[in-house]
Amino acid sequence: QSGEVAANPEQYDESYLCPVQVGQTTLNLDFDTGSADLWVFSTLTPKSESTGHSLYNPSTGTKKSGYTWDISYGDGSGASGTVYADKVVVGGVTATSQAVEAATSVSSQFEQDTDNDGLLGLAFSSINTVEPQAQKTFFDSVKGSLAKPLFTADLKKGAAGTYDFGYIDSSKYTGSISYVNVNTANGFWEFTASGYAVGSGSVSGSVGDAIADTGTTLMYLPTTVVQAYYNKVDSADYDSNQGGYTYDCSENLPNFLISLGGKTFTVSGTDINFAPVDSSGETCFGGIQENTGIGMSILGDIFLKSVFVVFDQTQSTPRLGFAAQ
Ligand X SMILES: O=C(CN1CCCCC1)Nc1ccc2c(c1)OCO2
Interface with ligand X (CB under 6 A): 30, 32, 34, 73-75, 77, 119, 215-216, 294, 298
CA 95 to chain centre: 21
To the nearest whole angstrom, how small is the minimum distance from the Cβ of residue 246 to ligand X? 16
- Categorise residue 80: left if φ over 0, alpha if ψ from -120 to 50, beta otherwise: beta
To the nearest whole angstrom, how small is the minimum distance from the Cβ of residue 10 to ligand X? 11
To the nearest whole angstrom, how small is the minimum distance from the Cβ of residue 231 to ligand X? 22
Beta bridge partners of residue 238, listed in sequence order: 245
d(CA 133, CA 251): 51
Nearest CB to ligand X, comparing residues 219 and 323: 219
H or E segment at 92?
Answer: none
Nearest CB to ligand X, comparing residues 121 and 269: 121
Nearest CB to ligand X, comparing residues 113 and 140: 113
DSSP, res 254:
P
d(CA 288, CA 325): 20
Nearest CB to ligand X, comparing residues 32 and 117: 32
Nearest CB to ligand X, comparing residues 42 and 216: 216
Instruction: Find all residues with CB under 8 Å of 267, minimum gap 6, and list them.
Output: 219, 255, 256, 257, 258, 302, 303, 306
- Which one, of 227, 268, 232, 269, lies nearest residue 244 by Cα? 227
How many other C-beta atoms lie within 10 A of the C-beta of residue 26? 13
Amino acid identity of residue 123, one-letter, is: A
d(CA 221, CA 292): 8
To the nearest whole angstrom, how small is the minimum distance from the Cβ of residue 310 to ligand X? 21
H or E segment at 157?
Answer: none
H or E segment at 122?
Answer: none
To the nearest whole angstrom, how small is the minimum distance from the Cβ of residue 300 to ligand X? 7
Catalytic positions are 32, 213
Nearest CB to ligand X, comparing residues 220 and 322: 220
Check: CB of residue 100 under 8 Å from CB of residue 22. yes
Indicate the SS3 state at residue 28: strand
Nearest CB to ligand X, comparing residues 119 and 197: 119
- Categorise residue 91: left if φ over 0, alpha if ψ from -120 to 50, beta otherwise: left
CA 308 to chain centre: 13
d(CA 190, CA 184): 7
To the nearest whole angstrom, how small is the minimum distance from the Cβ of residue 264 to ligand X? 26
